[in-house]
Amino acid sequence: MVALCGFTTGAESAPSVTVVAGGVDEAEMYPLGSGILFTYPQIATLCGVQGLVIYTLSSSLPLLLFGFLGPIIRRKCPEGFVLTEWTRQRYGAVTALLLSLATLITLFLYMVAELSALQQIVSALTGLDGLPAVIVQCVVTTIYTSLGGFKVSFITDNIQGAMVVGLIIIGVITVGVETEIDKSLVDSSGLLEPSLLGWQLLYILPVAIFTNDFFISGFWLRTFASRTDKDLRIGTGIATVAVAIILAFVGSAGLLAAWSGAWPGDPPQDGAISFFLLLGQLPAWVVGIVLVMVVSLSTAAFDSFQSAMVSNGSNDIFRNRLNIWFIRLSVVLIIVPVVVVALKSPDILTIYLISDLVSASLVPVLVIGLSDRCYWWRGFEVVVGALGGIFTVFLFGTVYYGDAGRGARLILLEGGLYAEDWGAFGAFVAAPVGALLWALAAFILRIAFLFLKAKVQGRRFDAFDRPIPADPGRFAGTDALGTRTGDEERDSVVRGSRRAEPGKFF
């Protein structure tokens, strides 16, 4: 069964699609805020069917990988509940802090995107200024999340799930009945043809979305809570199908808006509001219902982001040593710049992509530690690689545009995803590739330093010694005759290795 709800703790979480399998909430959640009403139809109007299919599959298929990675991380960190816990255990506190800060940046940008979307939705559907609605939402969600905590957020997430289902049902029925497709526009629109941007998205979106999924603790919460690995894989499979269906329905509104003549309109409008241009052709009562549902959807999403930010600050940053009310007060103060930035940032997809660029720099160097063969990989390499990935985007932009200022602005993707050049594509190549190269350089530097230090101190160079497993007893067993085995293997490891402390940074 697929239930729509949310769950927040640890690093980050978002309102989502939660799969219930095997009697427990298992595997996956996917952020379904009101921003999807802009981004997926916008892709459809720019890249047509090709872009919509790529975006939908890029958003849903990465969920399957959590069914593969989840069991690995659960075995390595059985007492964990989010990725930050494994990161702290594997790489140390400094790297875990970097991941927490990156998660906070992601949450900040998600909050900006949600408020920006709400402001534009209210303006598009009513013609009124959306700022009052934004302020009311911030005040109301802040009050009830502060008083009710996670329990209230869980309730609103269930409401959000109902709103998503209701929005899809009402939208499909009313659009199917009321919208008339002009067949002459289908061919002339060019939305059935492939495009250069569509082929670029074939790389950009999988990299951006998959790496950013690592910052959403809801995935990891369901991963650690799943009863068995089989249940986890079933859950990810169901979630993938559910998310793909929902996003495909939402994104197809862009195609229908173009083929019915609602978009681009007169004067021409941005493809981001094609969903609402299509709604403009429907009866007023449908628009009213949709507006209520969208506001409910946005509210449920925003309160989850607030709760996640409180949880991230309390658990991951301050390790639950600071009074929770100080954390909540800081989140309230952060809402002020969130509102200011949201009102100046109309392009929802660009806001998401900034967060994706951060994750594309950090996640590739982080997951190397999942391999037992890379036991020598340390937090130093992860931190240097992640920061180096962002710096490489700047270097690429400076060389590509011949201007350091434009190189710096490329980190914020000010030109958007749809600029008629290779800037955005290059940025998403530079981030992970640059991160890996910087991390490799950091690894060589660290090994060289440790080698020289060992020589100066006159001791054995042991940087490549394999650490003893936390439970040496795992080597032991019995053969067919009942004789104890594995002691010799264990002893050889003990003799040839030093015991490495978990979470070593350098």
Question: Cα–Cα distance between 80 and 72 in angstroms, integer?
Answer: 12
Same domain, 183 and 127: yes
Same domain, 195 and 311: yes
Question: Cα–Cα distance between 36 and 32 in angstroms, integer?
Answer: 7
Q: Average pLDDT in the 126-154 region? A: 83
Same domain, 111 and 188: yes
455 domain-assigned: yes
Which residues contact residue 364 at a Cβ distance below 8 angstroms, ignoring those fewer than 6 apart?
A: 211, 385, 389, 432, 435, 436
Same domain, 444 and 485: no
215 or 420, which is more confident? 215
> How many other CB atoms are found less than 10 A from the CB of residue 502?
13
Q: Average pLDDT in the 421-439 region? A: 95
233 domain-assigned: yes
Same domain, 433 and 332: no
Least confident of 180-184, 307-311, 414-418: 414-418
Burial of 426 from C-beta contacts in 10 A (0-12 / 13-18 / 19+): middle
pLDDT tier at 174 (50, 70, 90 boundaries)? confident
Q: Is the pLDDT of residue 361 over 90?
A: yes
Same domain, 454 and 473: no
Structural domains of the chain, count: 3
104 domain-assigned: yes
Report pLDDT for 74. Answer: 86
Q: Under DSSP, is residue 362 helix (H, G, I), strand (E, B) or coil? A: helix
> How many other CB atoms are found less than 10 A from the CB of residue 448?
11
Same domain, 338 and 483: no
196 domain-assigned: yes
> What does the pLDDT look like over 319-353, one tens digit per residue?
778 888 888 888 889 999 999 988 886 678 788 88
Question: Cα–Cα distance between 175 and 19 in angstroms, integer?
Answer: 29
380 domain-assigned: no
Least confident of 199-208, 276-285, 376-385: 276-285
Q: What is the mean pLDDT of the chain?
A: 82
378 domain-assigned: no
Q: Is the pLDDT of residue 261 over 70?
A: yes
Same domain, 258 and 396: no
Question: Cα–Cα distance between 122 and 131 in angstroms, integer?
Answer: 9
Q: Average pLDDT in the 364-381 region? A: 93
469 or 114, which is more confident? 114
Token pair 């969903």 is at which residue?
275
Same domain, 492 and 449: no
Report pLDDT for 315. Answer: 77
Q: Is the pLDDT of residue 275 over 70?
A: yes
Q: Average pLDDT in the 99-103 region? A: 91
pLDDT tier at 21 (50, 70, 90 boundaries)? very low
> What does the pLDDT look like over 44-96, one tens digit per residue?
999 999 999 999 999 999 888 888 888 888 888 887 777 888 999 999 999 99
39 domain-assigned: yes
Helix (H) / strand (E) containing 204? helix 196-213
Nearest Cα neighbor of 118 from 134, 142, 132, 129 is 134
Is the separation of the CB atoms in 407 and 371 below 8 Å?
no
Same domain, 176 and 296: yes
Q: Is the pLDDT of residue 5 over 60?
A: no
Same domain, 108 and 244: yes
379 domain-assigned: no
pLDDT tier at 154 (50, 70, 90 boundaries)? low
pLDDT tier at 468 (50, 70, 90 boundaries)? low
Is the separation of the CB atoms in 171 and 249 below 8 Å?
yes
Q: What residues are paired with 5 via a beta bridge? A: 16
Same domain, 103 and 241: yes
Instruction: Write out the residue range of the structural domain in which residue 496 sits.
Output: 465-506
Burial call 340-349: b when 16+ CB within 10 Å, e when fewer: ebbeebbbbb
Report pLDDT for 218. Answer: 64
